[in-house]
Amino acid sequence: MNTKKRSFLVHLLSFEFILLNVILIIYLSLILPNIPMGNLSFLQQMLGITIFYNISWLIIILSIREKEFYTNSDYGYFKSLFMSLFIFVGIVSIIVSLLNIRYFELTTFLVPIFIFFILNLISNKYLLRYLKSSGTNHFSNTLLIGYGDEILNMNDFSKNLASYGHKIVGFLKANGEKESTTPSFNIEGNINDLENVFASNAIDEIFIATSSLKEEQIEKSIKIADSFGIRVKLIDEKPLHTSNKYKTDTIGNLAVFNLRQSTLDKFSNVILKRLFDFFFALAVIVVFSPVFLLIGILIFLGCKGKGSILYTPLRKGEAGKTFKCYKFRTMNVCDDAVNGTKSTAVNDPRITPLGKILRKTDLDEMPQFFNVLLGDMSVVGPRPHRTNLQEDFRKCVSDYMVRSYIKPGITGWAQVNGWRGPTLTDEQKNERIKHDLWYIENWGFGLDLKIIFMTIFGKHHQKAF
């Protein structure tokens, strides 16, 4: 799930939670006007009920309404919302009966939920329309490739894509196609223009209609998309590129096959990973704050007050985003944080005595937990690279940019398997990327815990980030 889709879903979810709480507060204030607000027991129950509403609704959304809740398909949205409400009412009914809550009858819960159900259905289409027209960057810029019966009705297909968070920005035809009656787009041409289109436009995803393309054209399109870190979806009744790992989505009447499928494409997994990252990073910062302070003082004294305690080189993150990566300073003369190209070498003379200890124990990387709190990084993921190193990798490894599907990490699967440090040979580059991509495709919460354990208790290798 790319960053734009995630932002799109967060806005819709935020609206739902605000709507739910506003309805709940207004309704309870109307039906319970005589309850003294100074009644501490009542206020505690009100707070508990509000928290219960929100936690229950979040769990239901993440477990049931994985993709349907953001589609604008009337039946699909109604079905997913109705199922969520049905289960929610069932849970609430059981809790009310078991706890015998004093001030609230069952109807107290059912009526605001029914009101929420109706208002949510009515407002959904207007909210989608607002997000699309607001100029904010919530919709994925989508390029359509090929021409076939699957997308002859472009208006309907565009409408269906929009309800899944896509914005069609262009259409590339197969070579030798006749003129069509499709609507005009900002980007038009044929499949031979694909690489130039990617280089000059911000494209997030492509849909390939395979019926009018040769297999070589499909393979080449996928390879070019991988080299730019652009997600690929295939539209075909009998796709050539299928796997038990590839999930099928339905958009309108079309089956769409997602290549490079990852468990982190599920919104619930993204939320789970983010919550773990935040609280784990916060715990590390709190527990090790005395160590952070001591290291900062030692660096300050070692450089006699000259130079900064932190070194903040620019790194490439999720979706190609550039961010400042925080590290403790370990060198007398650091490479330029913005345009630096020189990696650390073995026995590098620039490294200070304290820096050698920090680098050997990985304590110099500890400030990156602040990057995790800010949302630029994850605790576990592919290591972030410099811009120049990214370009070097792209020349050697065709699917290198696929690693930008997710946030970079403080540690990763490649690092705990020995592929950290220098990347001077093609083998080192290919193995690091192969491990990064395996992690993306096989992510699990247990895998993150395993990598953290291996990072702390495993063998350390010479590094040169």
Q: Which long-range contacts (CB under 8 A, 24 or more apart) does 79-82 make?
A: 81/117, 81/120, 81/121, 82/117
**pLDDT reading at 300 higher than 70:** yes
What is the chain's mean pLDDT, rounded?
78
The pLDDT tens digits for 192-250 are 889 999 989 889 999 988 877 888 888 899 999 998 889 898 886 555 555 455 567 77
Percent of the chain with pLDDT over 90: 21
The stretch 381-396 carries a mean pLDDT of: 83
Token code pair at residue 244? 């038990």
Q: Which pLDDT score is estimated for 436?
A: 93
Return the amino acid letter for 105. Answer: E
320 has a pLDDT exceeding 50: yes
Amino acid at 127: L
Q: 172: how many CB neighbours lie within 10 A of its CB?
A: 24
Question: How many CB atoms within 10 Å of residue 336?
Answer: 10
Q: Quick one: average pLDDT of 91-114?
A: 66
C-alpha atoms less than 13 angstroms from C-alpha of 62 in its C-beta half-sphere = 16
Surface-to-core class of residue 83, CB atoms within 10 Å of its CB (0-12 exposed, 13-18 middle, 19+ buried): middle
Give the pLDDT confidence score for residue 69 in this predicted structure.
47
pLDDT at 424: 72
What is the identity of the amino acid at 159? K
pLDDT of residue 21: 82
Query: Could you tell me if 149 and 142 are in contact, meaning their C-beta atoms sit under 8 angstroms apart?
Result: no
| pLDDT of amino acid 124 | 73
**Chain mean position to CA 339:** 27
Closest CA to 254 of 182, 164, 184: 164
What pLDDT shows up at residue 95?
A: 67
SS3 sequence, the chain?
Answer: CCHHHHHHHHHHHHHHHHHHHHHHHHHHHHHCCCCCCCCHHHHHHHHHHHHHHHHHHHHHHHHHCCCHHHCCCHHHHHHHHHHHHHHHHHHHHHHHHHHCCCCCCHHHHHHHHHHHHHHHHHHHHHHHHHHHHCCCCCCEEEEEECCCHHHCCHHHHHHHHHCCCEEEEEEEECCCCCCCCCCCCCEEEEHHHHHHHHHHCCCCEEEEEHHHCCHHHHHHHHHHHHHCCCEEEEECCCCCCCCCCCCEEEECCEEEEECCCCHHHCHHHHHHHHHHHHHHHHHHHHHCHHHHHHHHHHHHHHCCCCCCCEECCEEECHHHCEEECCEECCECCCCCCCCCCCCCCCCCCCECHHHHHHHHCCHHHCCHHHHHHHCCCEEECCCCECHHHHHHHHHHCCCHHHHHHCCCEEECHHHHCCCCCCCCCHHHHHHHHHHHHHHHHCCCHHHHHHHHHHHHHCCCCCCCC
Interval 6-31: pLDDT, tens:
777 777 778 878 888 888 778 777 76
User: Cα torsion at 101, 106, 109, 115 (round to 10°)?
Assistant: -160
Return the pLDDT at 83: 73
pLDDT at 390: 79
Residue 103 has pLDDT above 60, yes or no: no
Interaxial angle between packed helices 267-287 and 289-302, expressed in degrees from 0 to 180 and rounded to the nearest 10: 60
* Residues 203, 170: Cα–Cα separation, whole Å: 9
pLDDT band at 408 (very low <50, low <70, confident <90, very high): very high
pLDDT at site 419: 83
